[in-house]
């Protein structure tokens, strides 16, 4: 079985320190014969992303029309690094440590919006409030890289995990604290890596 | 199967930077083509304003690059790979893997343009790198105290009104229960004196100022991780708490440098030390104001 996860998210800055965002994720099972057809596979993946992009653009446009704001700056993040994901049938699935990490097996196309614009209305944060309570700092690039590396190593369905736990599509959308906790959690129930202590940090004297 | 969806080609959405709210960024973009200023740029100006002009305004390519610069970049890459692996819970990279990262720093450079010291060769520097990285892996510094938050982490923000955003990369960002630690990795000909620690702290002071939002309420410390390029390399750490008075002094210095750049105050600053390895010697010689 060949599985494809494709996702795109977009965030538009709005006046008054508010924003609107939308994301779209496609999860699909593909015919495994596509593995032998490089061009065909690339075409399918490209179309998946294009479909996501179109859905996200439409949703953002709807939100802007309803809220009537003028966007400041769009930030669109194709969710490429985690996908496409190839799994190896039931054997791989049985290695998943919890239900949260189970790969999704049915085809699903969904358009999700972030909590900030749930109900398709733009939520605007009063300027004074946003000044005093700045948005949480996003996860660092190295945290995102670490989460993806751990997920890949442990064959975890990262998209499913992020959606279930945080209501997010990509690791880039996590806050720095969320990312930190997730890394700790993912590492804590992993067999101890040789040479590392409980924090994932190495004990000294390890030159080999 | 999804092969039937999205037949029409749609414009590809690319990530874009958030809109700037700092008016000075536009000024910077007009002067240098970048909507920010880096510590490296500030530091270059302070070393030689004309070198700053050649590099950041005129965009002149350097005739040569110092082997020390490439070597330091390679050591940085190797040590950073070590900490990224720690963050990712991967097996500790051995010296061979770190050397692979180190060697990658040499690849972008034409060997003929690298300026080696009189007693240096590429082979001697590679051997030195292997000794330094082995010493690092055997040192307590290889073990992370607390939790890694970022490796080679980009930070950016406004420090002073009227000055463009400062953009930089923090080599290592860690935290424990009560302190956020901003670490800069350095290679050095020898052990650092206390004066060197104090004189080299400005960059970290500014980075720590920008990083303070990461762990509100925590103390912030700056830390130098120094790997000496000696026959028997030594790994030393210098950690200091951030002194707000020093931050203020550094900010004033940055503001004055930017005012000079804005005003077009560029002049050569001859120095027997700095000029020897400068990649703009020819351009400097023909400069007439």
The CA-based angle B167-A178-A75, given to 5 degrees, is 50
Contacts A20 to B, Cβ<8 Å: none
Contacts A153 to B, Cβ<8 Å: 90
Q: What is the pLDDT of residue B229?
A: 96
Residue B223: pLDDT band with limits 50, 70, 90: very high
Query: Residue B2: what are its φ and ψ, rounded to 5°?
Result: -120, 15
| pTM, 2 dp | 0.66
Report how far apart, in Å, the C-alpha atoms of B223 and of each of A165, B83, B198, B239 are.
Answer: 35, 15, 11, 4
A70 part of contact set with chain B, CB < 8 Å = no
Residues B169-200: tens digit of each pLDDT: 999 999 998 999 999 999 999 999 888 888 78
B258 or A67, greater pLDDT: B258
Q: What is the mean pLDDT of residues B151-172?
A: 92
Q: Check B2 against A194: CB less than 8 A apart.
A: no
Residues A166-196: tens digit of each pLDDT: 999 899 999 999 999 999 999 887 766 544 5
For residue A202, the distance in angstroms to the closest alpha carbon of chain B comes to 5
Contacting B residues, span 102-141, partner chain A, CB-CB under 8 Å:
133-134, 137-141
Q: What is the mean pLDDT of residues B204-226?
A: 87
**Which of A60-74, A109-123, B152-166 is modeled with the greatest confidence?**
B152-166
Q: Check A201 against B12: CB less than 8 A apart.
A: no
For residue B101, the distance in angstroms to the closest alpha carbon of chain A comes to 16
Longest CA–CA separation in chain A, Å = 61
What gap in Å lies between CA A179 and CA A140, rounded to an integer? 8
Q: Check B2 against A44: CB less than 8 A apart.
A: yes
**Could you tell me if the ipTM is greater than 0.95?**
no
Which residue among B10, B138, B147 sits closest to A207, beta carbon to beta carbon? B138
Q: What is the CA radius of gyration of chain B?
A: 21
A47 part of contact set with chain B, CB < 8 Å = yes
Q: What is the pLDDT of residue A175?
A: 92
Please enumerate in sequence order all residues whose Cβ is within 8 A of that of A33, keeping only pairs 6 or more positions apart, or say none: none
Stretch (H or E) spanning B103: helix B95-104
Strands A2-14 vs A74-78: parallel, antiparallel or unpaired = antiparallel
B53 or A7, greater pLDDT: B53
Q: What is the mean pLDDT of residues B147-164?
A: 92
Report how far apart, in Å, the C-alpha atoms of B22 and of each of B18, B35, B249, B263 are.
Answer: 12, 9, 22, 19
- Report whether B284 contacts B69 (CB < 8 A): no
B232 or A52, greater pLDDT: B232
In the block, which residue shows the tokens 């305004």? Answer: B57
What gap in Å lies between CA B214 and CA A134, rounded to an integer? 11
- Across chain B, what does the average pLDDT equal? 88
Q: What are the structure tokens assigned to B116, written together? A: 């080696």
Instruction: Tell me the torsion sign for CA atoms B222, B126, B105, B88.
Output: negative
Q: What are the structure tokens assigned to A27, written together? A: 């999860």
pLDDT tops 70 at residue B108: yes
**What is the crossing angle of helices B67-87 and A141-154, to 10°?**
50
Residue B56: pLDDT band with limits 50, 70, 90: very high
Which residue among A4, A50, A193 sits closest to B89, beta carbon to beta carbon? A193
SS3 B122: helix
Contacts B94 to A, Cβ<8 Å: 207-208
Strands B179-188 vs B219-228: parallel, antiparallel or unpaired = parallel
Q: What is the mean pLDDT of residues B121-133?
A: 97
């Amino acid at each position: 079985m060949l599985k494809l996860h494709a996702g795109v998210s977009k965030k538009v800055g709005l006046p008054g320190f508010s924003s609107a965002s939308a994301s779209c994720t496609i999860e699909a099972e593909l015919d495994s014969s596509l593995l032998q057809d490089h061009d065909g596979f690339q075409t399918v993946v490209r179309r998946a992303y294009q479909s996501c992009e179109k859905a996200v653009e439409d949703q953002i446009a709807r939100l802007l029309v309803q809220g009537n704001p003028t966007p400041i700056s769009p930030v669109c993040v194709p969710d490429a690094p985690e996908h496409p994901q190839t799994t190896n049938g039931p054997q791989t699935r049985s290695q998943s440590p919890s239900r949260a990490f189970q790969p999704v097996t049915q085809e699903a196309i969904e358009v999700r919006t972030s909590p900030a614009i749930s109900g398709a209305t733009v939520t605007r944060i009063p300027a004074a409030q946003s000044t005093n309570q700045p948005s949480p700092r996003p996860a660092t690039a190295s945290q995102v890289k670490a989460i993806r590396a751990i997920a890949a190593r442990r064959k975890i369905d990262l998209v499913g995990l992020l959606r279930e736990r945080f209501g997010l599509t990509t690791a880039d959308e996590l806050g720095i604290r969320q990312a930190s906790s997730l890394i700790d959690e993912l590492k804590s129930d992993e067999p101890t890596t040789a040479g590392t202590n409980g924090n994932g940090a190495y004990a000294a004297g390890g030159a080999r | 199967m999804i092969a039937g969806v999205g037949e029409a080609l749609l414009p590809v959405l690319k990530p874009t930077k958030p809109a700037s709210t700092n008016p000075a960024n536009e000024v910077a973009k007009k002067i240098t083509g970048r909507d920010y200023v880096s510590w490296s740029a500030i530091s270059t100006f302070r070393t030689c304003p004309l070198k700053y002009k050649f590099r950041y305004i005129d965009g002149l390519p350097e005739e040569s690059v110092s082997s020390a610069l490439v070597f330091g970049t390679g050591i940085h890459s190797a040590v950073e790979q070590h900490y990224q692996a720690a963050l990712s819970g991967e097996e500790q990279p051995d010296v061979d893997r770190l050397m692979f990262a180190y060697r990658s720093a040499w690849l972008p450079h034409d060997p003929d343009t690298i300026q080696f010291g009189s007693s240096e060769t590429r082979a001697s520097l590679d051997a030195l790198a292997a000794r330094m990285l082995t010493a690092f892996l055997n040192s307590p510094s290889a073990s992370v105290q607390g939790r890694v938050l970022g490796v080679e982490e980009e930070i950016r923000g406004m420090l002073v009104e009227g000055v463009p955003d400062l953009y930089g990369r923090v080599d290592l960002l860690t935290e424990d229960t009560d302190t956020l630690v901003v670490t800069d990795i350095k290679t050095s000909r020898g052990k650092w004196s206390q004066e060197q620690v104090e004189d080299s702290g400005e960059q970290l002071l500014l980075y720590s100022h920008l990083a303070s939002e990461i762990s509100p309420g925590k103390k912030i410390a700056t830390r130098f991780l120094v790997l000496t390029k000696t026959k028997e390399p030594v790994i030393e750490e210098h950690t200091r708490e951030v002194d707000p008075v020093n931050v203020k002094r550094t900010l004033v210095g940055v503001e004055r440098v930017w005012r000079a750049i804005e005003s077009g105050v560029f002049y050569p600053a001859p120095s027997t030390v700095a000029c020897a390895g400068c990649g703009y010697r020819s351009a400097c010689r023909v400069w007439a104001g």
